[in-house]
Each structure stands twice: as structure tokens, then as C-alpha cells.
Amino acid sequence: MRILITGGAGFIGSHLAERLLGDGHEIVALDDLSTGRLSNIEHLLDHPGFEFRQGSIFDGSLLAGAVAEADLIFHLAAAVGVQLIVDNPVHTIETNVRGTEVVLEHALARKVRLLIASTSEVYGKSQEATFREESDLVLGPSTKSRWAYAASKLLDEFLGLGYHRQYGLDVVVLRLFNTVGPRQTGQYGMVVPRFVRQALNDEPITVYGDGQQTRTFTHVTDAVGAMVDLAFHDEAAGEVFNIGGKEEISISELARRVKSALRSRSEIRLVPYDQVFGSGFEDMMRRVPDIEKVKSWTGYEPLRTVEDVIRDVAEHERGRSGP
């Protein structure tokens, strides 16, 4: 099968390409390298089943050509990272909403199955103990740019599911919960690679807020496995799936585990949100997925622990070059 991955040079996209190549598929990775990196896919460029096309999904002829050859599409191209979103809310909204719209238009023209990568951010400030796919979504006010990303990705979901219901397009929505692992950059606020890099350099490990906010982290290998299983599940069209981990951990505890695992001399330092993201920044205290749906459909079970994540990210950081 020939598979198109938009955002294919990104962190998740590059791991997804590796997995699909290993399964015997041909891959076209489309990426404008705005947040993706060529270094993520350099080891794939000589693979006979891999092709990289540099450019934007807003390049109509480039996208049309890639979709015309595809039997399946993973749409991962998006503006990502809290820092990028706070600094560039217009770019975030335009990239995510219009980008998904044009991919949907081209997929519909060719009747190609499309998997849309969404995010746990769409649950917003919900107070539920665990987030189910049918849970109510509670976003903050539009005056807080923090919520631009969540709102844009939620609109992506509505568009995708609308194309399914109205036009019969085969669309699957994947809500990813804090996917982490090698090749993820801390440049835009991603917490694990930032902590690991700080610890390796014996710099202060900077925890934003009071550190009591909790998350579950999903090793990218586990997440990609679920994504691939759903891509080839005949009954998944029109459905939304959480893909996440099981171990809930506070950000302060994450910092302590990173420091311990890497035998770092770093101090752990709390930094108020407003010093990083500006006045009025809002965050959610818990973000824990209910993964029973994806488990019942595919047998998904996250196998890798937080310690596995820290080890793999640290190994990558020690071996990387450049910024």
C-alpha cells in the first residue's frame, strides 16, 4: 500500500513512517520543515520505499499529486507546542483548520481513507476523572490564546466527521495524549525533552506552575502501533479514539525521575506560568485518558513506562547534533 503522511518529517510522523516501512508499505512524507526536521528522516531517505517531498499542504498541486498516488493518508501536519501556540495564535488556527480542510477536500476527490491526528487538548478544562471520547469538552475563553490550539483541533474533528457523515469519506479521528520519545524537540514547550536536556547539561530543570498538574505520557512506539492498527480497521470510519498511556504522574515527579535516572546535579526550579507564557495563562490540572475504546477495538495496551521514555529520549539527546 502507498501511504501519504503529512507532517512526515515531524516527531510522530517519522516514527510512523519507520513502522509502516517495516510493515512493507511505501511511504510519501510531505513536510514543509517548519517544525519537522530533515534529521528525523535522514536514515530513511535511501530506503527504496520512502519518498520525501518538501513543501506545504497549502501547495495545491503538490498536495494533489501526493494524494492522487495514495491508498491511505495520515494527516499529522499541524502547528504544535504550547509556546508556539501562545506566540502565534493566528498561525495556529490557520494552519490547523485550513490545513485540515484542504487535505479533506483532496481526500474526498480521490475517496482515500484519512486519519486525522487530534489531541487531548480538546478536552480543555474538563473535571472528569478520565476523559472518554464521548465526554463533554470544556474550553476556556477566547480571550486566552492558550485555547486556540484546542479550538482549532476540535474544529478539525468536526470537519473530518462532517465529511464522513455528509459525503461518506472514510475518516478516523485519533486523539493523542502527550506522545513522547526520541526526536521530539523541547523547542516549543514539550516537557520531556526539555527536562532531559536540562538534566544532561546539569542546568536547572524548570517546572512551570506549581508542578502538581498531572499527565499520562505515551511512548511514541506505543502510540504509532495504535495508529496503524486503527488505520487498517475496517469498521473505524467515523469514530474517535483516545490514544494514551496509563501511568498518571505529576510534572514535579517527572522532573524528579528525570534527575534521578540521569544522575543529574540539576536543581528543580518552579517557574510561574506568567513568566513563560505571559499573563493569564491557563492550564488543566489533570489529563488522563480512558483508553478502553481503542483497547476493545484493537487490543491496544501501552507497554512502555515513563522510565523507558526518559531513557530513550536521553539516549537520543546524547547522540544528536545541532539545535
Which tens digits make up the pLDDT trace of 165-212? 999 999 999 999 999 999 998 665 689 999 999 999 999 999 999 999
CATH T-level assignment (fold) for domain 2-181+217-246+287-304: Rossmann fold (3.40.50)
| Calpha distance 47→111 (Å, rounded) | 28
Place of cell 469538552: 137
Question: Taking the domains of the chain in order of start, what are their residue ranges?
Answer: 2-181+217-246+287-304
Marked catalytic residue, from 149, 163, 208, 300: 149
Per-residue pLDDT of the chain (323 residues; tens, 9 = 90+): 999 999 999 999 999 999 999 999 999 999 999 889 999 999 999 999 999 999 999 999 999 999 999 999 999 998 776 666 777 788 888 889 999 999 999 999 999 999 999 999 999 999 898 999 999 999 999 888 778 889 999 999 999 999 999 999 999 999 999 999 999 986 656 899 999 999 999 999 999 999 999 999 999 999 999 999 999 999 999 999 999 999 999 999 999 999 999 999 999 999 998 888 777 777 888 999 999 999 999 999 999 999 999 999 999 999 874 44
| Calpha distance 154→147 (Å, rounded) | 11
Strands (E), the chain: 2-6, 26-31, 50-54, 72-75, 113-119, 171-176, 179-180, 205-208, 214-216, 218-219, 240-243, 248-250, 268-271, 286-287
273 is catalytic: no
Measured distance between the N- and C-terminal CA atoms of the chain, rounded to whole angstroms = 35
Q: Tell me the DSSP string of 182-251.
A: TT--STTS-HHHHHHHHHHTT--EEEETTS--EEE-EEHHHHHHHHHHHHT-TT-TT-EEEE--S-EEEH
Give the pLDDT confidence of 125-154 residue by residue, as tens digits: 998 989 999 999 999 998 887 788 899 999
Strands 218-219 and 72-75: unpaired
Residue 265 DSSP SS3: coil
DSSP conformation class of 267? P
